[in-house]
Copies of this chain bind each other. A is one copy, B any other.
Amino acid sequence: MGNTTYLELDTTRPLDIILLGRIAIDFNPAYSDEVKEEFKPLKKVHYFEKFVGGSPANIAVGVSRHGMKAGFFAKVSDDAFGDFVTEYFDGEGIDTSHVTRCTGGEKLGLTFTEMRSSTESSILMYRNCIADLQLSVDDIDEDYIRTAKALLISGTSLCESPSREAAIKAAMLARKCGTKLIFDIDYRAYNCKNPDEISIYYAMIAKEADIIMGSREEFDLTERLIRSGMTDEESAAYWQGYHAKIVVIKHGMQGSTAYTAEGEKFSIKPFPVSARKGFGGGDGYAAGFLYGLYQGWNLQDCLEFGSAEASMMVRSNNCSDDLPGPGEVREFIEAEKKEFGEMVGRI
């Protein structure tokens, strides 16, 4: 993988990216050739399909399918589900040398997805005493961080100790080692005790990050104890006053914008598709965007690629198995442009 014009990566390092955060399992209502659970309340669903899940896990799979070499800091359960996700990662070519097993009987996080209609979906999470939040400072290996061009921290890792301190330590060591830090805010309400804690810990990582990605709501939560009510431009400028080179702020269906430290801004909006669920888009977005960035593309093209991959995921019944390779994304973009015009996605 080459270099970007926005971020100087150390191309001599073997790993393109290490991700830090949760690996979980999604149980989605079955929707396949064999058995189809149509839109209905979760309590009435009888058949489920099992998939690898968890936002950073999905991003790891996504970038790997684009040919990038990924590693991972995670704790998984010491049971058949831990075997499942680890072997799945191995199969995708993700380095699992730093994916280790819990020793206290903690189980893998589970997400049961409810799909009531194409616009109403929700999730039922198993997140108590959960494996991923057991990642500890002792799992964070400075030498490993030094072998990677970048480290991506998923915000949910900050919700509870000991994972919280593991993530902060990793961020401090990334800065020490010249490993670029990518912060995917990825806020989820469960496990977070109060809004002050979110601002405290999310701001701490954001201050160290080279790239920050999140929704407007997530930036608001992060900035709560610093200054409320910042515009996108003010947020971008604030974090670029620390270490941020690229700040990506998302507004859902209204599209998203990337702000560079040089003062440029680039925007994109979603490609039109028929949605199966409201989840998984962000993971596809991150995977596609990072792939473009590592290719040395200009930011506008990175955004288009990410947005396309996002749209491909929301129409799928899962968040990991259907992550595409670069050729499929290109075909999708081509088809969409043929149907909706060359400027579909551009704002």
Contact = CB atoms under 8 A, between A and B. Distances in A.
Interface of A: 27, 30, 34-35, 41-50, 79-81, 83-84, 87, 105-107, 110, 112, 114, 124, 126, 128-129, 137-138, 161, 165, 168-169, 172-173, 176, 190, 194, 196-197, 199-200, 203-204, 225-227
A165 B200 contact: yes
A270 B139 CA distance: 43
Nearest to A80: B42
B226 A176 contact: yes
16 contacts: A27-B27, A42-B81, A42-B84, A43-B83, A44-B84, A45-B50, A47-B50, A48-B48, A48-B50, A110-B110, A128-B128, A129-B129, A137-B197, A165-B196, A172-B225, A204-B204
A147 to B, nearest CB: 18
Given A49-B47, A172-B226, A176-B226, A124 B79 contact: yes
Contact of A80 (B41, B107, B176, B194): B41
Nearest to A224: B172
A188 to B, nearest CB: 13
A343 to B, nearest CB: 40
A34 B48 contact: no
B176 A225 contact: yes
Contact of A43 (B80, B129, B196): B80
A153 B210 CA distance: 29
Given A105-B128, A137-B196, A227-B176, A80 B114 contact: yes
B27 A47 contact: no
A87 B199 CA distance: 35
Residue of A34, A45, A200 with highest tally of chain B CB at under 10 A: A200
Contacts of A226: 172, 176
A200 B172 contact: yes
Contact of A196 (B110, B169, B190, B227): B169
B46 A49 contact: yes
Contacts of A114: 80
A30 B50 contact: no
Contacts of A199: 172
Residue of A83, A114, A124 with highest tally of chain B CB at under 10 A: A124
Contacts of A41: 80
A246 to B, nearest CB: 23
Contacts of A225: 169, 172-173, 176
Nearest to A207: B207
A46 B42 contact: no
A322 to B, nearest CB: 14
